[in-house]
């Protein structure tokens, strides 16, 4: 008796029972089910939702691994500034990786543990199969939060995000907002001090500042993000190369633009991610950046203005600072919450990029506008689709009118 037969027997035993979805979720993780076609086409293509989601996860793994090294690197570099002189040499070290494991693996475990527990619970209570949507969400969440976020906050946010962002609408495929971003938004509005400022992006910075306040004789650790520095019209201490390769503070997975671009190419090549959305988001961001550059060169704005710093960023550099690239590739492309028509995707992506940079410039208190822009466009996506569909419907009506005229 092999494993296959035993599992099959168990499946038959659980059939119709309350726990069947939970068992099936684990079973189908091991084995592609023995289900055959009942109506319509007798043959089906090889892809299923698990494979699709798995592809997105594969595209995210490099970002996660890099984020682990970076967590350690930023921590040690904040203590010993000399490390920054040669980032390449000091980056891929065992120390950095171990520090990354200690700080980031708990985030991953909490993210998957809590999120999947909620998913299983809903599946069992509502008696439907466990859908795979959370496999990607669970991977995204640790990548878009600051390293030192307390785990209980993350737990609360995930429960909120999965229940309110997804399950109340009917689960995977029915949600209006991107669940990962709902979690991020919850954290941002519920615990703003943990989501912005110059302390949260580097492991140990917050604790260190507390110790200093308590009278300890230590050097303060600071880890301002580039956007934060710009927003305060400060000088940027990182080179363009550092920004592109990702040796900078920021959310866990967003820093390495190189790896995000590789991930994007992988998603586009596998036809899992929508190139229309990725491209149009970047175009939208560049155009908004160009407009702001134009404002600066027209001299409409004083150098003392608080918007000056970010408006003056060369338009193309907007793509390598902050998380616009990460958002465009992994967040905006979520097919459920994005526009669903090909034409609509162009408009949807363009507006995300456009609004992201607008928020970035006009909101110096919290200069990361991507996630707000995506959430906003999530809400508008059905409206965009509606008008695209109206075009098709009008064409059909016109055809009819010509005939009956």
Partner 1 sequence: MKQEEDLIIKFATANINLYRIMSKDIKVRKGLDLRLKGEAEKAISNAPKSKTFAIKPSEFHLVTPKLLVKEGAKVKVGDPIFYSKANKEVKIVSPVSGTLTAIERGAKRVILKIVIEADAQQEVTDFGSLSVESSDGDTIKSRLLEGGVWPFIKQRPYDVVADPETAPRDIFISGFSSAPLAPDYDFVLKGKEKELQAALTALSKMTAGKVHVGVRDKKSSVFSSMRNIELHSVAGPHPAGNVGTQIGMLAPVNKGETIWTLEAQNLVIIGELLLTGRFNPERIIAVAGSSVKTPKYYRAALGMSLNGIIKDAGLNEDNVRVINGNVLTGVKEPMDGFLSYYANMISVIPEGDDYEFFGWNKPIFNKISTSRALTFSWMQPNKKYELNTNTNGEHRAFVLTGKYEEVFPLDIYPLQILKACMIQDLDEMEAMGMYEVAPEDFALTEFVCVSKQPHQEIIRKGLDLMYKEIG
Q: What angle do CA 265, 271, 274 make, to 5 degrees?
A: 75
Q: CA 337, CA 351: separation in Å to the nearest integer? A: 14
Between 335 and 364, CB nearer to partner 1:
335
User: Which segment (98-106, 237-245, 324-332, 333-341) binds partner 1 by CB under 8 A?
Assistant: 333-341
Q: Where do we find the tokens 């002189």? A: 85
The least CB distance from residue 393 to partner 1, in Å, is 5
Position 356 contacts partner 1 (CB under 8 A): no
213 binds partner 1 (CB under 8 A): no
**Shortest Å, Cβ 332 to partner 1:** 13
Per CB under 8 A, which region of 213-221, 324-332, 358-366, 392-400 contacts partner 1? Answer: 392-400
Tell me the C-alpha distance between 368 and 374, whole Å: 12
Of 345, 368, 344, 346, the closest CA to residue 356 belongs to 368
Write each residue from 81 to 120 as x if it is in contact with partner 1 (CB under 8 A), else as -, in one continuous string: ----------------------------------------
| Using rule CB under 8 A, residue 28 touches partner 1 | yes
Q: Which is nearer to partner 1, 269 or 300 (CB)?
A: 269
Minimum Å distance from CB 252 to partner 1? 24
Residue 259, C-beta contacts closer than 8 angstroms, at least 6 positions apart: 62, 63, 66, 246
In the complex, what is the shortest distance from the CB of residue 174 to partner 1, in angstroms, rounded to a whole number? 6
Total number of residues that touch partner 1 (CB under 8 A): 65
Q: Among the candidate windows 24-32, 216-224, 295-303, 355-363, which touches partner 1 by CB under 8 A?
A: 24-32
Which tokens belong to 350?
């363009």
395 lies in the binding site for partner 1 (CB under 8 A): yes
In contact, 323 and 329? CB cutoff 8 Å: no
Q: Does 60 bind partner 1 (CB under 8 A)?
A: no
Runs of H (alpha helix) within 298-331 = 308-311, 324-326
Task: Check residue 341 for interaction with partner 1 (CB under 8 A).
Answer: yes
Provide the CA 381 distance to its chain's centre, in angstroms.
18
Closer residue to partner 1 in complex, CB, 67/273: 273
Please report where in the chains the tokens 């609004």 appear, as a residue.
Answer: 355
Residue 403: Cβ-neighbour burial (10 angstroms; 0-12, 13-18, 19+): exposed
Binding-site member from 46, 89, 216, 298 for partner 1 (CB under 8 A): 46
Single residue of 335, 366, 376, 380 touching partner 1 by CB under 8 A = 335
Max CA pair span of the chain:
88
What are the structure tokens assigned to 332, written together?
């905006």
Smaller CB distance to partner 1: residue 45 or 94? Answer: 45
Shortest reach from residue 304's CB to partner 1, in Å: 47
**8 Å CB contact between 319 and 257:** yes
Q: Which residues of 351-375 are buried (b: 16+ CB within 10 A; e: fewer)?
A: bbbbbbbbbbbeebebbbbbbbbbb
CA–CA dist 356, 345 (Å, integer): 16
Check residue 49 for interaction with partner 1 (CB under 8 A): yes
**Which residue in the set 97, 106, 108, 129 belongs to the binding site for partner 1 (CB under 8 A)?**
129
If one asks whether residue 1 binds partner 1 (CB under 8 A), the answer comes out as no
Q: Which residues are near partner 1 by CB under 8 A?
A: 4, 7-8, 28-52, 54-55, 129, 131-133, 170-174, 269-272, 274, 276, 335-336, 338, 340-342, 345, 385, 389, 392-393, 395-397, 399-400, 402-405
């Amino acid at each position: 008796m092999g494993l296959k037969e035993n599992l099959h027997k168990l499946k038959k035993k659980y059939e119709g029972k309350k726990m069947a979805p939970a068992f099936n979720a684990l079973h189908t993780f091991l084995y592609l089910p023995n289900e055959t076609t009942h109506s319509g086409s007798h043959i089906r293509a090889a892809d299923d939702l698990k494979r699709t989601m798995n592809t997105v996860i594969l595209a995210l793994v490099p970002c996660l691994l890099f984020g682990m090294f970076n967590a350690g690197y930023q921590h040690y570099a904040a203590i010993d500034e000399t490390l920054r002189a040669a980032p390449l040499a000091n980056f891929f070290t065992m120390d950095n990786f171990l520090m990354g494991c200690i700080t980031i693996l708990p985030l991953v475990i909490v993210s998957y543990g809590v999120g999947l527990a909620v998913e299983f619970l809903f599946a069992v209570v509502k008696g439907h199969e466990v859908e795979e949507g959370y496999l990607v969400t669970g991977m995204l969440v640790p990548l878009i939060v600051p390293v030192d976020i307390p785990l209980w906050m993350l737990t609360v946010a995930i429960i909120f995000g999965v229940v309110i962002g997804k399950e109340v609408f009917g689960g995977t495929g029915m949600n209006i907002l991107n669940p990962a971003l709902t979690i991020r938004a919850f954290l941002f509005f519920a615990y703003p001090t943990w989501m912005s400022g110059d302390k949260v992006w580097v492991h140990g910075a917050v604790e260190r500042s507390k110790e200093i306040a308590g009278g300890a004789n230590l050097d303060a650790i600071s880890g301002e993000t580039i956007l934060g520095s710009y927003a305060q019209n400060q000088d940027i201490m990182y080179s363009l190369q550092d920004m592109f390769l990702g040796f900078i503070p920021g959310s866990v997975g967003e820093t390495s633009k190189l790896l995000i671009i590789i991930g994007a190419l992988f998603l586009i090549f596998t036809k899992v991610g929508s190139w229309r959305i990725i491209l149009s988001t970047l175009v939208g961001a560049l155009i908004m950046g160009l407009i702001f550059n134009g404002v600066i060169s027209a001299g409409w704005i004083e150098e003392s203005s608080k918007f000056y710093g970010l408006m003056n960023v060369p338009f193309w550099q907007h793509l390598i600072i902050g998380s616009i690239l990460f958002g465009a590739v992994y967040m905006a492309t979520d097919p459920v919450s994005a526009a669903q028509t090909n034409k609509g995707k162009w408009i949807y992506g363009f507006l995300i990029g456009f609004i992201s940079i607008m928020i970035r410039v006009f909101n110096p208190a919290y200069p990361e506008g991507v996630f707000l822009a995506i959430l906003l466009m999530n809400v508008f996506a059905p409206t965009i689709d509606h008008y695209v569909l109206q075009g098709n419907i009008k064409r059909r009506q016109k055809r009819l009118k010509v005939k009956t005229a």
